[in-house]
Amino acid sequence: MPERKISEQEKQIERRARKVLPGGSLGNLTNNIVITEGKAGRVRDASGNEYVDYLLGSGPMLVGHAHPEVIAAVQQQLEKGTTFFANNEHAVLLAEEIVSAVACAEKVRFTTSGTEATLFAMRAARAFRGRDKVLKFEGGYHGMHDYALMSMITTNPVDFPQATPDSAGIPKSIQNEMLIAPFNDLETTSAIIERHHDELAAVIVEPFQRLIPPKPGFLQGLRDVTNQYEIPLIFDEIVTGFRFAYGGAQEFYGVTPDLCTMGKVIAGGFPLALVAGKDEIMAHFDRSAEPDAFLPQIGTLSGNPVAAVAGLATLEILKRPGTYERLFATGQTLKDELQRLMDEAEIPAKVVGEAPLFDVFFTEEEITDYRSTLRADKTQLNRFNALLLEEGVLKGDSKFYISVAHDQDDVRRTLDAFQFAVNQLKV
């Protein structure tokens, strides 16, 4: 593919963006690509360049862009109204499907974003447990609220379990309400929980942290120690819900938490997320709860019917026989071939993750936790990403999100881009 062309139209959009958006962007990607349309496993930019898309809107488009069944369901609902701030049947049907599919889900409360969902999951655990502190894992991503932005992207790690803020504008007092543990280190984590168990409201974890799979026994060990002290365990499945299995990472890894959060896939590209879990914890959202136990949660668009019908249509597609087998086969092929090319070129690199979601770390070290990711060569990763973009393959700063819409031609084109990028990295 020739060098990516940038049209005057796209340049003009970029100039306008710089005048009205901080940094000239929406705050998501570090590059300034302007996407105009998507179909199945590909997207097109404002200059007319087409890309095999592994960004997938940061993950929601698991069945591909503009899937005709999802679009048809949305169009039908649009003619009936877009939002009501009241119960609607589609949201009830979606909640029923979540309860049926997800092991920990007895009740569901909808939100608009994953950030809201993790915030309310922590708050529900505090209300239930009558404690304030929450333990999270260093490098774990739980959205953009103050509690989540503790020790998420720190470049100067401190001793566990001390928390460090990753953003300006966070009250210093928040540091005292969060404890930090190392992902995949059950011994250290258990010791922190044992020492602070009487202060802890909950433990929150991405069962698959960013790109790092749990070591065998880690999640079960975490489940065991939290059970021992009757501390609610929250799985943040905003990313993994319905991606690793129809029942999420808790089905895939065989460990059931007390609460979970889900988003992205469940709304088919529309703003919707949720908290789900045991009835005794979720009861705090019920207005009939005792006044000192009630947890108000009001959202203008929570359970929006357009998002709900998109979610129902998406889940119907995912339930069909062979869907997850195809998803995993596509991802595994790309994972294996990328690692093979790196090995043959003698480039120090580790392809890390699960078949539906992975990336490459330029390092000889095994990637097992956040601190090991810091020792990988990020300059090399940025160059790799840029080379792929020039060859018509789009991904985020990190992560290849695989979709069920990626076909053999997409795979072939991606493997050609891998080969080109690896050849350039050797130079």
Is residue 343 assigned to a domain?
yes
For residues 223 and 267, membership in a common domain is answered with yes
Instruction: Give the residue-averaged pLDDT of 139-154.
Output: 96
Question: Could you say which of 133, 136, 264, 399 is catalytic?
Answer: 264
Domain assignment of residue 21, given as a range = 8-66+322-426
pTM for the model stands at 0.96
Quote the CA–CA distance of 165 and 154 in Å, as a whole number: 8
Mean pLDDT of all residues in 342-355: 98
Residues 62 and 73 reside in one and the same domain: no
Q: What CATH number is attached to the domain comprising 25?
A: 3.90.1150.10
Task: Decide if 2 is inside a domain.
Answer: no
The answer to whether position 186 is within a domain reads yes
- The one catalytic residue among 51, 53, 107, 141: 141
Q: Is residue 3 part of a domain?
A: no
Q: Exactly one of 45, 53, 185, 236 is catalytic; which is it? A: 236
Number of domains in the chain: 2
* Domain limit, last residue, from 296, 318, 340: 318
Section 328-338 average pLDDT: 98
Same-domain pairing of 383 and 247: no
Mean pLDDT of 103-127: 98
Average pLDDT over residues 241-254: 98
| 196 & 227 share domain | yes
Lowest mean pLDDT, pick from 8-22, 268-282, 375-389, 397-411: 8-22
pLDDT surpassing 80 at residue 1? no
Q: Strands 107-111, 133-137: parallel, antiparallel or unpaired by DSSP?
A: unpaired
Is 397 marked active-site?
no
**One domain, residues 94 and 208:** yes
Please check whether residues 116 and 256 belong to one and the same domain.
yes
Query: pLDDT > 90: what percent of the chain?
Result: 95
Same structural domain, 299 and 354: no
Q: 94-99 contacts: CB < 8 A, separation 24 or more?
A: 94/266, 94/303, 94/308, 94/311, 94/312, 94/315, 95/274, 97/312, 97/315, 98/262, 98/266, 98/274, 98/276, 99/276
Given 283, 318, 353, the domain boundary residue is 318
- Catalytic annotation on 141? yes
- The pLDDT score that the predictor gives to residue 2 is 46
pLDDT, average across residues 364-373:
97
Q: By 3-state DSSP, what share of the chain in percent is helix, strand and coil, each rounded to 5?
A: 40, 15, 45
pLDDT at residue number 5: 85
Distance CA 220, CA 206 (A): 13
Residue 3: predicted pLDDT: 64
Model confidence pLDDT, tens digit, residues 39-59: 999 999 999 999 999 999 999
CA pair distance 259, 246, nearest whole angstrom: 17
Question: Do both 312 and 385 map to the same domain?
Answer: no
Mean pLDDT, range 231-259, rounded to an integer: 98
Mean pLDDT confidence for 61-87 = 97
Q: Domain check: are 266 and 336 in the same one?
A: no
Boundary-marking domain end, from 318, 352, 383: 318
Please say if 236 is a catalytic residue.
yes
